[in-house]
Amino acid sequence: MTSAFAKAIKLGLIGDNINRSKSPRLHKTAGQLTDLNVTYDRLIPNDMGMSFDEVFEQARLGGFRGVNVTYPYKETVTSSVTVADPFVRAIGAVNTVVFDEDGPKGFNTDYTGFIQTYRSAKGNENPGAVCLIGTGGVGKAVAFGLVSLNARLIRCVDLDANKADALARALQSLGSDTRVEVATDATVAVKGVDGIINCTPLGMAGIGGSPLPGAYMRDANWAFDAVYTPVETAFIQDARRAGLEVISGYELFFWQGVEAWKVFCNVPVDHAALRLAISGEDA
């Protein structure tokens, strides 16, 4: 072990409704596999009686190497970090932060993690036309990933039309060949698409529900749910019953975690060994 890592590497996750998150297990296990002493804390602003900004500042001053940031703070945190990657600046959401001597640095491993998630399931197959439901932090990252994968069409669906419009404009500004449309009703937007993606919090433990009734899924080919706690969401179950190929949110969790580990520690970890080690229930 190098002297730089002689003491514990303090990591954490800031978010709401994260008591069942598997991120602590992933990063602590990665530490064990690489002979690093890693701690990883769940930091829930409401439970701590603090605002997001207060929790973030406490982590920055408290010896943390970095934090992951999840719902609903991925866009909020962008005002507290420096983002070097212009593509991540365009996404407008950050899920990984490193506290460097010259200030907090922001990254988006949802974006890179989604690309790896899709390719691991579908190889080089084009995503085709996609109905993307939810245009918040993770929705933005996934949408940019779809552009990088050369999707033919992205229909951005959100009950808040202004959010969907803003994402559509950001995607169109990339100058890619991907066509972008906006809708507020998923049951209409899903018509004629190849893939259906849930990037809303619906389906999460403690929230439940689904953004789209199963009866409207039958004409698509594949579905992905960004929610991974639980892995078997109502959305995934409905998609499977409708005969779609399903990609679970656990895959995004795993690959964005691997990408975040690179950002935090920049120490190679055996992906297969890590997947196997965290495949059981949380310790």
pLDDT band at 137 (very low <50, low <70, confident <90, very high): confident
- The catalytic residue among 10, 22, 28, 74 is 74
Assigned CATH for 3-108+252-277:
3.40.50.10860
Domain segments of the chain: what residues?
Answer: 3-108+252-277, 111-249
Tell me the average pLDDT across 254-261.
96
- CATH homologous superfamily of 111-249 equals NAD(P)-binding Rossmann-like Domain (3.40.50.720)
Tell me the residue type at 280.
G
Q: Write out pLDDT tens, residues 115-127.
A: 999 999 999 999 9
12, 40 Cβ separation under 8 angstroms: yes
Residue 74 annotated to the active site:
yes
pLDDT band at 4 (very low <50, low <70, confident <90, very high): very low
pLDDT for 205? 85
CA–CA distances in Å: residue 41 to residues 66, 117, 241, 273? 11, 26, 37, 23
Is the pLDDT confidence value at 133 over 80?
Answer: yes
Q: Do 3-108+252-277 and 111-249 share a fold?
A: yes
Q: Could you give the CA distance from residue 72 to residue 113 in angstroms, rounded to a whole number? A: 19
DSSP symbol at 94:
-
pLDDT for 17? 86
Q: Write out pLDDT tens, residues 187-243.
A: 999 999 999 999 999 999 889 999 999 999 999 999 999 998 899 999 999 999 999
Q: Write out pLDDT tens, residues 78-115.
A: 999 999 998 899 998 899 999 999 999 999 999 999 99
pLDDT for 33? 97
- Sign, CA torsion 118/120/121/123: positive
